[in-house]
Chain A
Amino acid sequence: MSTQKTLLERRYATLGMALIAPTVLIFCAVIVYPLFSAIYLSFYSVFTPTLEGEWVGLSNYSELLQTGRFWNALGNTLIWTIGSLFLQIILGIGIALVLHQNIWFRSLARSLILFPYFISTVVAVLVWKWLFNDLYGILNHLLMKVGIIEFPMDFLGTMPNAMISVILVGAWKYFPFVVIAVLARLQSIPESLYEAAKIDGAGPVARFFDVTLPQLRDVLVVIIMLRAIWDFKEFDMIYLLTGGGPLDDTQTLPLLVYQEAFALNDMGMASAYAVVMMLIMLVFMLVYIRRTKDDGGV
């Protein structure tokens, strides 16, 4: 009986491996191989147009650490990530609390709030460039009408406007993710907790800090880690809004990799940037993965 069971188990194991085989093959071909290839390339100097390379050892890495471009990009990446993430969390929690109430046409309101998250970054950037337009943009018109500014403002071409604009557009595009996640959690907080707090004489603000926020803690930690990882590697939005400019003032690490590989034509150096960027992200990624594991994930 027992041998038969192990036979069946063995057959199941084989079937299981057969089912995962296509995934493993694709993973090896398009992810694992390129990943090691990127590390390998970072020890070379590769001229993009001819794709001819020569071994340079660790010199890409030492150059990277010595020149200002890497540190500048790292600083910009951190400013963008922290600024945008902060706004996303504040806006996300605030609007989730509002949408949690019983407002008119709630599902329509929810759809409208969700929409920016799902549209293409290209669409978001085009619309915002039109809103930011210096001559005919509605934002300049409104700001001048209210009297905040006297002359049209250059939103994307000067500092610190460019960084602030990028952070704001990023917050607008990605905060709905926080809304959805927080909203789902809010709906599962037992009503009895609020009633108990009410009996104890807690006002709305105290109820938020004593009941809501502690209940949201776990989900917020997950959201912050995920969004930090995603914001850190954001390419499309910043590249399309400012292209890293003015000068290199909004150039983040992903933009630096792209520029090095396809504008400055050194794929080896670009790979070194990419590898270092990945190492920095690895810290976040491992923390997130570990946490997921503890929650009975993986």
Chain B
Amino acid sequence: MMPTFKKILFNLFAWSIVLAVAFPLFWMLVTSVKPGFELFRRPPTILPETWTLEHYWKLLSETNFLIYFRNSIILSTATTLVVVAVATLGAFSLVRFKYRGRESLAFLVLFTYLLPSVVLIIPLYLLMVGLGLSNTIFSLVIAYTTFALPYALWLLRSFMAGIPEDLESAALCDGATRMGAFRDVILPQLLPGIISTALFTFILSWNEYLYALVLVNSDASRPLTTGVMNMLISSFNIEWSLLMAASVMMSVPLIIVFAFLQSYLTRGFGAGGVKG
């Protein structure tokens, strides 16, 4: 009898911690479906008495949210495609080839992976103004490669190092070229690593704030992070339900990743920061 009781007690303890950590997210969801008047009820209702989707409707029909959303999709997808393509070739080169300067390059990658964005932001701003690219989504794609490329290279390098070399050697003995072996032998084995790197890169770009704040100052090319924050700053009286609805919508891609592709996230964690 005693062990079961202890087990139940431990489970209650564990789950109350988990729920406390998750509470802000639960509260965001609840606030987004409460009608305006219920928000100011004292004491607050934990579950809404009446459910409404009016805030979501307002968000989509009366604000620039959809434009920001589209911009974020374009921006994050473009950054991910460029970065993953370049980094896959780069990681292949860093791990499987020998040439002068390779070690220092690997060092440079790790160094830039840790470099703070604020150091690069001023010269990048000047560069974009000089090139006439400021206020474009393209300028953000360029800026995002500064953190996404070292990151993707670092992850892919460690995935690549985990692939055994003998299969590649066997293919080379059978007369395959290096690039042929890369395509037929390495790429299929690297695929899970590529997916997880792409997911991480996408999430990083989706969540980025500082470069978007500095480089883009027009609603036409603003991504979600600065766009939604502007809805808070520029509003005369703050509509919290609307902002919570925006927060939920902004997290939708993430929820999809969590629901279906979570194993790739954990894998990336293992390969990236932690194992180093």
Q: Does A159 contact B (CB under 8 A)?
A: no
Contact of B269 among A124, A130, A180 (CB under 8 A): A180
B17 contacts A98, C-beta separation under 8 Å? yes
B127's closest neighbor in chain A, by CB? Answer: A34
**A145→B229 CA distance, assembly (Å):** 31
Known: A122-B209, A235-B210, A289-B107. A19 touches B22 (CB 8 A): no
Provide the bound-state CA to CA distance between A35 and B150, in Å. Answer: 15
Interface centre among B10, B90, B207, B276, by most A CB within 10 Å? B276
- Docked-complex contact B122 and A261, CB < 8 angstroms: yes
Give the complex CA separation of A119 and B228 in angstroms.
14
- The number of inter-chain residue pairs (CB within 8 angstroms) is 269
A233 to B117 alpha-carbon distance, docked (Å): 8
CA distance A139 to B258 in the complex (A): 28
* Cα(A264)–Cα(B21), bound, Å: 39
- B146, CB-defined interface residue at 8 Å: yes
* Cβ-based interface call for A112 (8 A): yes
Q: Which residues of chain A are within 8 angstroms of B153 by Cβ–Cβ distance? A: 23
| Alpha-carbon distance A35/B86, docked complex (angstroms) | 21
Task: For the complex, give the distance between the alpha carbons of A257 and B120 in Å.
Answer: 11
Contact A34:B123 (CB < 8 A) given known A27-B108, A116-B25, A262-B214: yes
- Assuming the A-B contacts A17-B99, A20-B105, A181-B274, are A130 and B126 also in contact, with contact meaning beta carbons closer than 8 angstroms in the complex? no
Q: Find out whether the CB atom of B31 lies under 8 angstroms from the CB atom of A130.
A: yes
Beta-carbon contact of A95 and B247 below 8 Å = no
B residues less than 8 Å from A181 (CB atoms): 269, 273-274
A236 close to B (CB within 8 Å): yes
Query: A101-B10, A181-B273 are known contacts. Are A115 and B25 too (CB-CB below 8 A)?
Result: yes
In the complex, the answer to whether A37 meets B273 with C-beta atoms within 8 Å is no
B136 within 8 A of A: no
Q: How close is A29's CB to chain B, nearest CB, in angstroms? A: 8
* B17 and A95 contacting across the interface, CB-CB below 8 Å: yes
What's the least CB distance linking B215 to chain A, in Å?
Answer: 11
Give Cα distance in the complex from A288 to B178, angstroms.
Answer: 34
- For chain B, the bracket of interface size reads 35 or more
The CA-CA distance from A23 to B82 in the complex, in Å, is: 11
Query: Which residues of A sit under 8 angstroms from B201, Cβ to Cβ?
Result: none
B258 near A19 with CB under 8 A, answer no
* 8 Å CB contact of B21 from A30, A113, A229: A113
Neighbour of A118 across the interface among B11, B93, B203, B214, CB < 8 A: B203
Q: Determine, out of B36-44, B58-66, B163-171, the stretch whose residues face the partner at the interface.
A: B36-44
Contact between A289 and B111, CB atoms less than 8 A apart: yes
With A and B bound together, what is the CA distance between A285 and B150 in angstroms? Answer: 15
Q: Give B contacts to A, CB under 8 Å.
A: 10-11, 13-15, 17-19, 21-22, 24-25, 27-28, 31, 39-40, 42-44, 86-87, 89-90, 92-94, 96-99, 102-103, 105-108, 110-112, 114-127, 129, 142-143, 145-146, 149-150, 153, 178-179, 203, 206-207, 209-210, 214, 224-225, 228-229, 232, 240, 243-244, 246-247, 250-251, 254, 257-258, 262, 265-266, 269-270, 273-274, 276
> Apart from A95-B17, A119-B25, what 9 extra A-B contacts exist at CB < 8 Å?
A17-B97, A27-B149, A31-B112, A35-B119, A103-B10, A120-B207, A122-B207, A184-B274, A232-B116
Residues of A within 8 A of B (CB): 9, 12-17, 19-20, 22-24, 26-27, 30-31, 33-35, 37-38, 41, 51, 95, 98-99, 101, 103-104, 109, 111-116, 118-124, 126-131, 133, 135-136, 138, 141, 145, 172, 177, 180-181, 184, 219, 222-223, 226, 229, 232-233, 235-236, 240, 253-254, 257-258, 261-262, 267, 270-271, 274-275, 277-278, 281, 285, 288-289, 291-292, 295, 297-298
Give the top 3 A-B pairs by smallest Cβ distance, nearest first: A16-B97, A233-B116, A34-B123
